[in-house]
Amino acid sequence: MSTDETGQGGAQAHEGAGEFQEPGLSGVPVQKLVQLITPAGERVSHPEFDLWVQDITDEQLCSLFEDMTVIRRIDVEATALQRQGELALWPPLLGQEAAQIGSGRSLRGDDFVFSSYRENGVAYCRGVDLTDLLRVWRGNASGGWDPYAINMATPQIIIGAQTLHATGYAMGIQNDGTDSVAVTYFGDGATSEGDVNEAMVFAASFQAPVVFFCTNNHWAISEPVRLQSHIQLADRAAGFGIPSLRVDGNDVLAVMAATRVALDRARRGGGPTFIEAVTYRMGPHTTADDPTRYRDANELEDWAAKDPISRVAALLERKGLLTSELQDHVRNSADTVAREMRKGCTTMPDPQPMDVFKHVYSAPNSWLDRQQDHYARYLASFGDPAGAVSEEGAR
């Protein structure tokens, strides 16, 4: 199984779509992949999408490069922490840095993100506390952070369920009469879920201000996208009456342009947009997965050549911006973040038995109080409170 040059998920018949939209297998127009930076680091112009990133200065390009490098480092460090027994599990994002930073950096503070469990880079853009990022994966809490503090819901583990939350939130935005946008992230596999389809039906019906950001990383654990969809994922949106864009997900500028187009449409009352960011999951599904059992090493090699970070580095090099100062600076900030995250992880206090009663209801109630009281007395029956905690943990 290998992916084609443009990372196309659909049938071979779609290859060679030219400048103009051509009918696909079922008469659905086939979209051309939007790309602004080639894998070799060349900036290619695009009549439509250039406008959306013309404000990106050299300095900002450098900071995009920095953010992508930092989240890759976060990912590597968290993977190491899992191997060292400090985390129970970690879902790596290796290879998807441009998709996450390009979109995450396009959002406004009052936009609200509903993501899957892999959008740790998006969470980083939202300013999540690094320790909070790991809390759930260490098994220390059932949720990592206060969603309203960074306007990003805690990651959804149920595949695709967050799209419904986003559509509901977007309908709320309509009632509020503001121009913020709900953005939901999900993978190629999630598009096969009922939830995602329902969310798109409702979003279209209500013309809700929601962006469906589909990270097509080609693999739903071991299931290749080709088996799930015989047309490009972006083309599915047409069936819901939702306009869609198909971008090179390893191209940070293209992702940014597409996200801005979608956000702008939503803010102006134009309703939902579906973005398919075509990228590749370079690592395993999670640290408990072994992708060599189901995919071809050649495929990995093909995609390594399209690495999102090296192409920005190549572009900076062409522009003469990839100085050793910049590289040192980026390396230092990645090291600092990794160090801070590791420290936060290994020094995280253990949760207390009574913590399970927190965050269940928004307000206290007598029923819960009673349970809490019973549980406290039960724990107290062990005498040593610390011992009681240990016994609980042992089970």
Partner 1 sequence: MIKEFRLPDLGEGLTESEILSWKVAVGDTVSLNQVIAEVETAKAVVELPSPFAGVIRELHEQPGTVVEVGKPIVSFEVADDAGTAPAGHGALSRGVTPAGQRAAGEEPAAPKREPNLVGYGAVVESSGRPARRPRNLPQVAVPANEAPVRITPAETRAADATAPVVEPVETKVIEARAGVPSGDRPRSTPPVRKLARDHGVDLALVPGTGPAGLITREDVQEFLRQGSAAQAAAPAGQAHAGGEGERETRTPIKGVRKHTAAAMVSSAFTAPHVTEFLTVDVTPTMELLAKLRGSRAFAGLKLTPLTLAAKAVLIALRRNPSLNSRWDEVSQEIVTFNYVNLGIAAATPRGLTVPNIKDAHSLTLEQLAEALALLADTARSGKTPPADLSGGTVSITNIGVFGIDAGTPILNPGEAAILALGAVRSMPWEYRGEVALRQVMTLSLSFDHRLVDGEQGSRFLADVGAILAEPGMVLTMV
Q: For residues 42 and 46, give the distance between their C-alpha atoms in angstroms, rounded to a whole number.
A: 13
From 118, 236, 281, 342, active-site residue: 281
Rule CB under 8 A: say whether 384 interacts with partner 1.
no
Q: For residues 134 and 348, is the Cβ–Cβ distance under 8 A?
A: yes
Rule CB under 8 A: say whether 382 interacts with partner 1.
yes
What is the smallest separation between the CB atom of 381 and partner 1, expressed in angstroms?
8
124 is catalytic: no
One symbol per residue from 270 to 299: x for binding partner 1 (CB under 8 A), - otherwise; what is it?
A: --------------x-xxxxx-xxxxxx--
169 is catalytic: no
What is the smallest separation between the CB atom of 268 and partner 1, expressed in angstroms?
45
What is the smallest separation between the CB atom of 296 and partner 1, expressed in angstroms?
6
Selected range binding partner 1 among 23-31, 159-167, 176-184, 346-354, rule: CB under 8 A: 346-354
From 230, 294, 295, 331, active-site residue: 294
From 126, 138, 285, 342, active-site residue: 285
Q: For residues 375 and 34, give the distance between their C-alpha atoms in angstroms, rounded to a whole number.
A: 57
Selected range binding partner 1 among 8-16, 36-44, 200-208, 384-392, rule: CB under 8 A: 384-392
- Compare residues 4 and 392 and give the one whose CB is closer to partner 1: 392
Question: Of 131-160, which residues contact partner 1 (CB under 8 A)?
Answer: 138-140
Q: For residues 51 and 214, give the distance between their C-alpha atoms in angstroms, rounded to a whole number.
A: 23
Rule CB under 8 A: say whether 66 interacts with partner 1.
no
Write the CA distances from 57 to 183, 200, 316, integer angstroms: 25, 35, 12
Cβ-in-10-Å burial (0-12, 13-18, 19+) of 362 comes to exposed
Q: For residues 184 and 160, is the Cβ–Cβ distance under 8 A?
A: no
Rule CB under 8 A: say whether 374 interacts with partner 1.
no
- Compare residues 138 and 260 and give the one whose CB is closer to partner 1: 138
Size of the site for partner 1 (CB under 8 A): 39
Q: For residues 168 and 174, give the distance between their C-alpha atoms in angstroms, rounded to a whole number.
A: 10
- Compare residues 178 and 298 and give the one whose CB is closer to partner 1: 298
Residues near partner 1 (CB under 8 A): 1, 76-77, 80, 82-86, 88-89, 138-140, 284, 286-290, 292-297, 342-343, 346-347, 350, 382, 389-395
Question: Looking at the annotation, which residues are catalytic?
Answer: 281, 285, 294
